[in-house]
Amino acid sequence: MLYAIIEASGKQLWVEPGKFYDVNYTGGQPGDIIQFNRVLLKHDKTEIQIGHPCLESSNVKATILKHIKGHKITVFKMKPKKNQKVKQGHRQILTRLLIHSINT
C-alpha cells in the first residue's frame, strides 16, 4: 500500500494515489496539475521514509477537479441580560483534488 503524509494548506493529509481529497482553497483553475513538495512521510510496500521535517526528493502530483463550498455552520453569539443576539452562517471554500502519483 502506497501512501504519503503531506502538508497542504496548513494541514497534514494522509493521501493515496487515485483518491479524492478536499483541502482549503488553493489558487488555480479546474484541470490544473499542482505539485506538493512538503512530503512529511512516505510509505511504499517495502519501507517507510520519514522527513526531518520534509523529504527532499519526494513530491505528490494532483489535479484540481473543482472548487466547492463546505458544509454550512451556524455561529450564534448571545450576551445575556443585554438582549443582544447575533446569528451568522459560514461556508468554507474548498478545492477538490485527485491525487495522481507519489514520486521519489
- Average pLDDT for the chain: 94
- 45 band by pLDDT with thresholds 50, 70 and 90: confident
88 touches 74 (CB < 8 A): yes
* Model pTM score: 0.82
Angle at 34 between CA 21 and CA 54, to 5 degrees: 80
Mean pLDDT on 41-67: 93
Domain that holds residue 76: 3-103
CA–CA separation, 87 and 56 (whole Å): 47
Residue 32 class from Cβ within 10 Å (0-12 exposed, 13-18 middle, 19+ buried)?
exposed
pLDDT at 9: 85
pLDDT at 71 over 90: yes
Total count of domains within the chain: 1
Question: Which residues have a Cβ under 8 Å from the Cβ of 12 and sit 6 or more positions away?
Answer: 5, 6, 40
pLDDT at 95 over 90: yes
- 28 band by pLDDT with thresholds 50, 70 and 90: very high
- 1 band by pLDDT with thresholds 50, 70 and 90: confident
